[in-house]
Chain A
Amino acid sequence: MKHITTVSFLFLLIAAALPANAQESPTTVGGYGELHYNEPEGSAGGMLDFHRFVIYLNHEFNDWISFASETEIEHTYVAGGDAPGELSIEQAYIELRPWDAYGFRAGIVLPPVGIINQYHEPPTFHGVERPNFHKNIIPTTWREAGIGFFGAPTHTLGFQVYAVSSFKPSGLSAGSGLRGGRQKGAESSTRNMGLTGRVDYMPVLGLSLGASFFTGGVSMGNEALGDAGVTVLAGDVRYAIGNLQLRGEAALISVADADKINAVYQNSVADQMNGFYAEAAYNVLPHLAESAQQLFVFGRYEMYNTQAEVTGFEAMDMYDRTDVTVGLTWLPTGNVAIKMDYQLFDDARDLDGRGQFNAGIGYAFF
């Protein structure tokens, strides 16, 4: 009892010492979205899809406690049966920030692995579609329920570390890697928790380096799965100078006891998957006109293999993939992007690559 009284007293004392919130409206809204047109080569016609519509809802409770969320409707609508849509919470967390540079988050968070899982607003990346590396290697948008600590020991060095739900073994697959294993914070099992983290470093202005990881068991208490687990190691680099932007990402995924997962679920999961992409973009507009708008010409080369090493069966060449994307990104204003590109998908089989034309418009506002 005495202990409780002490706690309450301290709480009141501290609450009184905290400065009052000076903000006028502590609740803010924002969002992003993208309309896509995809036309595979040789097809009779393309497909128009309002792929993502996301609403941000944020609230500041006081100077150090806030809430942030992103709610997404994919493919415009959700109905029973065959509707392609998906309604989901992409992020929803409470942030406690007792110090200017350090704090805690709890809720549905984004494992901070790679670049695009964290920064996925359409005006922040080139190409109508997110890189396939971010679908089949890093399963963007990857979100899980969890709790974590983040901070910035210096202005140029930051870190994040979270304990989050791990993958469910039944969802791991030969072609899409970890993607189907995401639990998305929905009644997630805590039989296996994963640990994920990231370090960001900016050695000079314009250059950002990142290293990130995830590691967690996936056996979910099933003895037949042994020590099944997933480890992801990733590195990324972004550099911008003048009108030139460069970025690259690479990741290596190891699945422990993949043979046991395959014995139970027959899903041909590999022991190892890996991939990388490199991208260059150049803003040509300053050479054509005096304008604050931007028009980037870009090219991206991706290689990824979701069956890089397998045990007990033959790896399939169709999963050893190479994608080339070339296109344009026009930013008439910083937060609106009009995009157009051509993609060539190829794999290790002796077949001709498949081409696809894409166009899209995307926005973000805060």
Chain B
Amino acid sequence: MRFSDIPILILLLAGTALGQSREDIAEYAASYFGDDVRVHPVEITLSSVDAALLSKRSGARHAWNKVDVWKAEKGGKTAGVLMVDNVKGKARPITYLVAFDTAGVILAMEVLAYRESHGGEVRSPLFLEQFAEKSHRDALTVGKDIRNISGATISSRALARGARALAIYVQYLQEGQRL
């Protein structure tokens, strides 16, 4: 291999290794709900009143309209909800997924794309497992019920903020029977 081939090699690898596609959601759903689960995208249209209420409940502004909502069904019955969302880290968005059961309790949380320079430890199950079994009733706050990762404080807080927003969102949709 010549030295001049290196950029080509880098570019070739670059083209093959980016991001996660939406098809992966079915795979994620299968790991939380079992193999016979089916996922359907749900179109949610939020009015400005909805958004204002959600922001009031969560105490934070959030791009509620940009959350991708997927319904998981098993044998014709709703098994749960998956949400894919972005939350801003220090400089770049972190793409994450949260799976909820029908009562709005978190089953699992995953980081789908991490783009920040520092703090990739938040992708570790050691961190993400903390969110399981929590819901809108929990603080979901770093330093309280979520343990921080030293050196990944901004990312830890961002994901906790995101999880809290989605927990409140899912509860809002479920109580309004919009799922």
Which residues of A pack against B, CB within 8 Å? 3, 6-7, 10-11, 13-14, 17-19, 23, 28, 30, 56, 58, 60, 63-64, 66, 68, 95-101, 105, 115, 118-119, 124, 150, 152, 155-156, 158, 200, 202, 204-206, 208, 210, 238-241, 247, 283, 292, 294, 334, 366
Contact = CB atoms under 8 A, between A and B. Distances in A.
Contacts of B147: 205-206, 240-241
B124 A17 contact: no
B117 A68 contact: yes
Contacts of A152: 120, 123
Contacts of A64: 14, 18
Contact of A119 (B13, B18, B141, B151): B151
Contact of B121 (A60, A66, A155, A240): A155
Contact of A205 (B8, B114, B127, B157): B127
Contact of B154 (A98, A150, A366): A366
Contact of A202 (B8, B89, B126, B142): B126
A18 B14 contact: yes
Contacts of A105: 117
A158 B120 contact: yes
A366 B151 contact: no
A18 B127 contact: no
B171 interface: no
Nearest to B125: A155
5 pairs of A and B residues whose beta carbons are closest in the complex: A98-B14, A238-B150, A155-B124, A58-B91, A14-B15
Interface residues of B, number: 44
Given A56-B90, A58-B92, A105-B117, 4 more contacts: A13-B15, A66-B91, A156-B126, A205-B124
B120 A204 contact: no
B149 interface: yes
Interface in B152-169: 153-154, 157
A241 to B, nearest CB: 8
Chain A interface main SS type: mixed
Nearest to A16: B15
Contact of B11 (A10, A58, A206): A10
Nearest to B112: A100
A247 B151 CA distance: 12
Given A68-B91, A155-B120, A366-B89, A205 B126 contact: yes
Given A23-B93, A58-B92, A95-B117, A240 B17 contact: no
Interface in B93-107: 93
13 contacts: A66-B92, A66-B115, A98-B13, A100-B17, A100-B19, A100-B114, A119-B118, A119-B153, A155-B126, A200-B151, A205-B127, A241-B147, A292-B139
Given A18-B14, A66-B115, A204-B126, A238 B121 contact: no
Contacts of A118: 118, 151
Given A11-B11, A66-B115, A97-B115, A208 B90 contact: no
B121 A202 contact: yes
Nearest to B88: A366
Contacts of B118: 118-119
A208 B149 contact: yes
A196 to B, nearest CB: 15
Nearest to B13: A98
A62 to B, nearest CB: 10
B143 interface: yes
Nearest to B11: A14
Nearest to A14: B15
A137 B177 CA distance: 61
B10 interface: yes
A241 B124 CA distance: 18
Interface string B1-34: 0001001101111110111000000000000000
B56 interface: no
B120 A101 contact: yes
A205 B129 CA distance: 10
